Amino acid sequence: MNKKNKSTYSLLVGSEEKGLGILETVLCVLVAISVVISIWQFAVQTNRLPVEQVAATSAEGQGT
């Protein structure tokens, strides 16, 4: 048995789960895809604000 003192960092690195790297990679890719889809959804969304009606209503109100 190795009686040598080890630092906390070396103990953490030695006890790291090997399969966790793949899981983290898949999770990060899914989050990135989700962000891209969310941005794309707002980019292609049509503008449903009745700007012409608001402009016409405010112009009518100023004439009186």
Q: Which two tokens stand for residue 52?
A: 């012409």
Q: Which two tokens stand for residue 29?
A: 């890719």
Cα distance between residue 30 and residue 23, in whole Å: 11
Cα distance between residue 30 and residue 33, in whole Å: 5
pLDDT of residue 6: 80
pLDDT for 1-58, tens place per residue? 455 778 888 888 777 666 668 888 999 999 999 999 999 998 888 777 777 776 666 6
Ordered by start, the domain boundaries in the chain are 18-62
Cα distance between residue 16 and residue 38, in whole Å: 33
Q: What is the pTM of this model?
A: 0.46
